[in-house]
A and B are shown apart, each in its own frame.
Chain A
Amino acid sequence: MAGYHQNLDQQQAPAFFARGPSPLARLAFFSALSLALMATDSRLQYLGSLREHLMVVLQPLQLIANAPSMLYESTNEYFSTHHRLLNENQLLRKQALIQAISLQKMKTLQLENTNLRELLQANQSLEEFSQLGEILHVGRDPFTKKIIVNRGSVHHVVEGAAVVDAKGVIGQVTRTYPASSEVTLITDKSLTIPIQIERNGLRAIAFGHGRDNTLDLPFLPANVDIKPGDKLITSGIDGIYPKGLAVATVTNIQTTPDSPFARIICVPTGGIENHKQVLLVSISQLESTNSAVSSNQTTENTGTSVTAAETVKAPPMKASGQHKKITNGAPVTAIDSSTPNKPNAQD
């Protein structure tokens, strides 16, 4: 009985006397506040920096939350068998040999290409700056396709940078935080990527499908020259994605008599959901290339331009730097982007 009275004291008395504003008033106040926040965030973009600052506070909590899985992984790695390591080593050696050959050819071709472009007074192709990132975790909203990568604005990751893995494009950086950044995968409904059919050079735009891990090529006529098995590569006309990266393979084309458009379904070539490391590639921007150097491999500076920066400017999937570059003296004709491509961006 005494307990019951205590209970009454606890539950009822504050309800009548010490509750402050009525629940309805609180509801109205806080709902209005959240609606205002939502409007500000989605329409006006004032909250970007605030979000970045608050993320710093979240960082230690994130570390705590990641600790168990990290521990599990590192112990797993530690106890991996001798045999498996040997096998892996052999495989990697073989791969390196194969790639070294194509890399050698690539170097001569690139030199030749630069020379020819110079002769033609054409614009030099844009340089790229890349860094390795590790996937921290997938996005927390199960209905958007996002991943969080452990490189952020302190590592000079910029919004809009392309994200690739060993097999192709997997997405684009959509939001940067100080020590991490959010990558929207190409299969997300909100991401589009300008592509080109490798076989015939036809340009189109690929849309993420959202539900399953596929891409759509909408708004192409029913008689378009695309076959199953065609490879899609980035066209580079957006100035965001470097040119010529593999994106997807066409798997299925459906045409219905009552629709003027074909329904084209493609499967991404990159391992969208099964990699740990990714490469963040941004097309050369002066401020990022000039300062984000030391952590990466450096290249010889044999160019004649005055720049002091030594940067890794390699084609996105080749790890080693180039040895010789010819200074870009050609006029900037800017076919596709507002990205500065000035002479001193060369090495």
Chain B
Amino acid sequence: MHKTKLQTIYLSLLIAFICLLLPWSGVALKLRPDFVLLVIIFWILRAPNKCNIGTAWFIGLWVDLATGGVFGQHALAYTVTTFVAVIYQRRLVLFSNTQQLVYVLLLLLISQLTLLTVKTFAGNESLGWAYFLPSFTGVILWQTAVALGLNTSRPSRSK
């Protein structure tokens, strides 16, 4: 029986993390999708026994470290998001492509809303609608990946 290797998961997470570390600035920074969360969602849907809420929490801590905000805010956002992803995981795998897209958008928005809540408690003023743009670019990225042949429902048999 084919199994997704653990190394593949960690390697892809590492690559997503390096994407986050790239020197983004200006408009690109405002549009930058949450690479790490997208990869986590992908693995939660595809290999839920390998990548779980704990993984997401742990990676979230590193994202917090890299972004320099309050320690634990991304960890919390990723925990909540992956929880929603996990409980609907079995249904989601059967969804059509479009349904999946909408669902991924919802997940990304949940993550951003959690972050927004934390930021508001920490005393930030409202950030405007542009705050939610990364969710939409994230969905575009997801669709691009799907078009390139990534598939959540069936592990590929090439390896």
B57 within 8 A of A: yes
Dominant secondary structure at the B interface = helix
* Partner of A35 from B21, B30, B32, B72 at Cβ < 8 Å: B72
A218 within 8 A of B: no
Residue of A whose beta carbon sits closest to that of B83: A27
**Contact status B68-A139, CB under 8 Å:** yes
Within 8 A of B (CB), among A36-69: 36-38, 40-42, 47, 51, 54-55, 58, 61-62, 64-66, 68-69
* Known pairs A10-B155, A58-B65, A61-B21; A27 contacts B73 (CB<8 A): no
A121 within 8 A of B: no
Q: Which residues from chain A contact B119 at a C-beta distance below 8 Å? A: 143
Question: A interface, how many residues as a size bin?
Answer: 35 or more
Determine the distance from Cα of A121 to Cα of B106 in the docked complex, in whole angstroms.
69
How many Å from the CB of B78 to the closest CB on chain A? 9
Determine the distance from Cα of A219 to Cα of B144 in the docked complex, in whole angstroms.
51
Query: Of the 9-residue stretches A1-9, A196-204, A281-289, which lies at the interface with chain B?
Result: A1-9
Q: Which residues from chain B contact A19 at a C-beta distance below 8 Å? A: 48-49
Dominant secondary structure at the A interface = helix
* Known pairs A31-B79, A47-B71, A138-B25; A18 contacts B125 (CB<8 A): no
How many Å from the CB of A212 to the closest CB on chain B? 12
Q: How many A-B residue pairs have CB under 8 A?
A: 133
Determine the distance from Cα of A133 to Cα of B19 in the docked complex, in whole angstroms.
25
**Contact status B79-A27, CB under 8 Å:** yes
Determine the distance from Cα of A140 to Cα of B23 in the docked complex, in whole angstroms.
8
**Contact status B54-A26, CB under 8 Å:** yes
Query: What sequence of 0s and 1s flags, for each residue 50-88 of chain B, a beta carbon within 8 Å of any chain A beta carbon?
Result: 001110010011100111111111011001100100110
A34 within 8 A of B: yes
B131 within 8 A of A: yes
How many Å from the CB of B42 to the closest CB on chain A? 15
Binding site for A on B (CB under 8 A): 1-3, 14, 17-25, 29-30, 32, 48-49, 52-54, 57, 60-62, 65-73, 75-76, 79-80, 83, 86-87, 90, 93, 118-119, 122, 124-125, 127, 131, 153-155
The 4 A-B pairs with the shortest beta carbon distances in the complex, nearest first, are A37-B72, A65-B21, A34-B76, A137-B23
Given contacts A19-B48, A65-B21, A66-B23, 14 further A-B contacts (CB under 8 A): A10-B155, A15-B48, A26-B79, A27-B79, A34-B72, A34-B79, A37-B71, A38-B76, A42-B70, A65-B22, A137-B23, A140-B24, A140-B68, A143-B124
